Amino acid sequence: METKYKSIEAIFPPPPFHMVGDGFRVHNFFPSLPQIGLKGMSPFFLMDYGSKWAVPPSDTPRGVGVHPHRGFETVTIAYHGKVAHHDSAGNSGVIGEGDVQWMTAGAGVLHKEFHEKEYSKIGGVFQMVQLWVNLPAKNKMTPAKYQSIENKDMARFLLDDGKSYIEIIAGEYKGLKGPAFTFSPVNMFNAKMIKAGKADLRFDKNYNTCILVIEGEIKINDSKTAPENYLILFGHDGDEISIEAVKDSVVLILSGEPINEPIASHGPFVMNTQDEIKMAYEDFYNGKFGYLED
């Protein structure tokens, strides 16, 4: 049977970077790219990619101070550097290379993120991805929670060359399941491949799917290539993807079932209606998201 590849809709270079706080230098692939917009990668609402950046030493950790969220989840994937998290639900943690922090804002939470103190004093290469994963309407007011996912706890599938492998953060790959709990079907993998390593992927044709090249360069579907820091967006006319590493590579793979509901977003809130956005601001100003020291 002939392989039915997902079509490659576009390969995007990284958009110009901007700063989030004073610690995160990011390229926003979506929703800012009009070809993707608010719904083109649902249930993933936002991708801020912090490409490799040499962070100078600092006695005062860089980052983002206390701010609120409601209606979605933040997922931070560390490739280089260390980040410390604190939130008003009483959760805290530090992630380093290969780790993930998965915060469910749900009904509302305050949080802050800074370079980890000891890492900040030394400085070094910093590279991370932060995703906002939308919540279905029925789950938007779920209690806030936090999942700390260490690299050692991720499932790994060894590829045919015996050295390349796929880490499963969320979802399932060839019978192996990732440790993250999700509210809707989400696949989130890191493929870590040596030169000429190959991986095949299969996702429902209706799922929104993209690949971000974290390091190296890859060939997709035996046709097009994409270098480091580029994003590949796929269409909905097939269910298979092939990846070949042109050089040693690390790629982030995202695929999920779209949440086909209205989206109303403003600032740190992602809801379904403007009235819900208004209520989120009222609840925040009235102290209903708890307290967190800056």
Instruction: Look at residue 143 and tell me if it is in a domain.
Output: yes
pLDDT digits (tens, 9 = 90+) for 155-207: 999 999 999 999 999 999 999 999 999 999 999 999 999 999 999 999 999 99
Asked if residue 3 belongs to a domain, the reply is no
Domain count, the chain: 1
Distance between CA atoms of 255 and 234, rounded to whole angstroms?
A: 10
Cβ atoms within 10 Å, residue 70: 26
- 37 in a domain, yes or no? yes
Over residues 205-257, the pLDDT tens digits come to: 999 999 999 999 999 999 999 999 999 999 999 999 999 999 999 999 999 99
Average pLDDT score, the chain: 97
Q: How many CB atoms lie within 10 A of CB 36?
A: 22
Section 131-158 average pLDDT: 97
According to DSSP, the β-strands at 145-149 and 100-104 are: antiparallel
Is the bond preceding residue 56 a cis peptide, omega within 30 degrees?
Answer: no
1 has a pLDDT exceeding 60 = no
Confidence of residue 3 (pLDDT cuts 50, 70, 90): confident
State yes or no: pLDDT of 2 exceeds 70: no
Burial 77-114 (b: 16+ CB within 10 A, else e): bbbbbbbbbbbbbebebbbeebbbbbbbbbbbbbbbbb
Residue-level pLDDT at 208: 98
Is 20 within the bounds of a domain? Answer: yes
225 is in which domain, residue-wise?
A: 8-285
Residue 13, pLDDT > 80, answer yes
Structural domain contains residue 290: no
Statement: residue 119 has pLDDT above 90: yes
Identify whether 84 is part of a domain.
yes
Query: Is there a domain that residue 292 lies in?
Result: no
pTM score of the predicted model: 0.97
pLDDT bin (cut points 50, 70, 90) of residue 294 is confident
Torsion-angle region of 35 (φ positive above 0: left; ψ -120 to 50: alpha; else: beta) = alpha
204-241 CB burial, b ≥16 within 10 A, e <16: eeebbbbbbbbbbbbbbbeeeebebbbbbbbeeebbeb
Residue 276: its H or E element: helix 274-285
Residues 183 and 227: their CA atoms lie apart, in Å, by: 32
Residue 81 in domain: yes
Q: The CATH number of the domain where 231 resides is what?
A: 2.60.120.10
